[in-house]
Amino acid sequence: MASRAPIRTMAMAARQSLKIGMLPADGIGREVLPGAKAAILALGSSIPKPEFIDLPAGFEYFTKTGTALPDETVAILKNECDCALFGAVSSPSQKVVGYSSPIVALRKKMDLYANIRPVKSVSADSEGKPGVDLVVIRENTECLYVKQETQTIGEHGKEARATRLITERASRRIGEMAFKMALERPRKHLTIIHKSNVLSVTDGLFRETIRAIPTSPGVDGKYDGVTVAEQLVDSAVYRLFREPQIYDVMVAPNLYGDILSDAAAALVGSLGLVPSVNAGDSFVMGEPVHGSAPDIAGQNIANPLAAIRSAAMMLRHIGYGDGADRIENAVDSVLREGKVLTPDLGGKSKTSEVVEEVTKRI
């Protein structure tokens, strides 16, 4: 799986233990995160001894306490943990007074400004079409997800407004991460996703800022090998389903990146396969792309592979590439063999059975 250059420090390299914050949150998050933990433990002495710190967050925690993300959880992540894993969060479609998504808040409080979502098919499909191998890099802190909404009464009844924020700073740093990742991949191709033909000010700033990176002061031609393209978000979705092989690295504002990566999951069979990391300059948190899936929660049929792959991405990001390779190779071999799969992939296996099969191969 693709990830950014490791943020592992000399202090981390010398540690005897690896402290990992565990935030299962809601629904199937509590069922798939143990699978990620089991995969990490299966690596044995090839990584520092993992210490898992259970931390509360989520909508269900909010219903009990009135708080979705306790200050103590954030403090422990910042001061005690080397990295973290997040399960899944329930986000009610209707307004709930006092509730705000803890994963959105975590990304801001920890300055995890990039959500990196690789979407890769294990093999070409039966018709011999090219396999999918792309990465969506989603800006994680701005766009409509600043959650500044108002509702007033106007001439024609209720009027709702939302503020959309795009800044040059956030656009530049997500763009720089996208260029670095594109440079590390064989195709070295970057597509900027926007809608600046309509949103010429906000999306225009996002597009122009990233376009300017290769020629900006101090870059000194290091991105000369990267081919840059751009695509309007609506046509990008269309082309994603028609010809996904044209994409390599896609960089997008928050909302577009969220939609594109979920849509891309359909190309590889299930949201239950797609991992991600929320990354900043000094911390990383793995997170499967799927939601809390309350319709199947508690039935031991949730797909744990996205969570396990997210653990691998997290480890790679902090410098333990060999361990990440072992986990990813084990997952790929289970998928290729196709005998131990959860119902979302057409199988009949339980979550626990898939976890057992993966850890056995690690």
CATH number at residue 354: 3.40.718.10
> pTM (2 decimals)?
0.88
Please identify, among 236, 254, 272, the residue that sits at the C-terminal boundary of a domain: 272
61-83 b/e (C-beta count within 10 Å ≥ 16 → b): bbeeeebbbeeebbebbeeebbb
Instruction: Identify the domain containing residue 89 by its residue range.
Output: 1-112+280-362
Residues 106 and 151 in one domain: no
In degrees and rounded to multiples of 5, residue 164 shows phi and psi of -110, 120
Q: Which residues of the chain are modeled with pLDDT < 50?
A: 1-5, 8-11, 124-129
Residue 217: predicted pLDDT: 87
* Mean pLDDT rounded to a whole number for the chain: 91
Residues 161 and 266 in one domain: yes
Please identify, among 272, 299, 318, the residue that sits at the C-terminal boundary of a domain: 272
Residues 105 and 117 in one domain: no
Residues 41 and 89 in one domain: yes
Residue 5: predicted pLDDT: 47
Residues 132 and 242 in one domain: yes
Tell me whether residue 124 is exposed, middle or buried, using C-beta atoms within 10 angstroms of its C-beta: 0 to 12, 13 to 18, 19 or more: exposed
Residues 258 and 295 in one domain: no
Residues 333 and 359 in one domain: yes
Determine the length of the chain. 362
Residue 12: predicted pLDDT: 55
Residues 169 and 228 in one domain: yes
Residue 127: predicted pLDDT: 47
Residues 96 and 234 in one domain: no
Please identify, among 220, 237, 272, the residue that sits at the C-terminal boundary of a domain: 272
Residues 296 and 359 in one domain: yes
Domains contained in the chain, number: 2
Residue 130: predicted pLDDT: 57
Residues 128 and 219 in one domain: yes
Residues 257 and 118 in one domain: yes
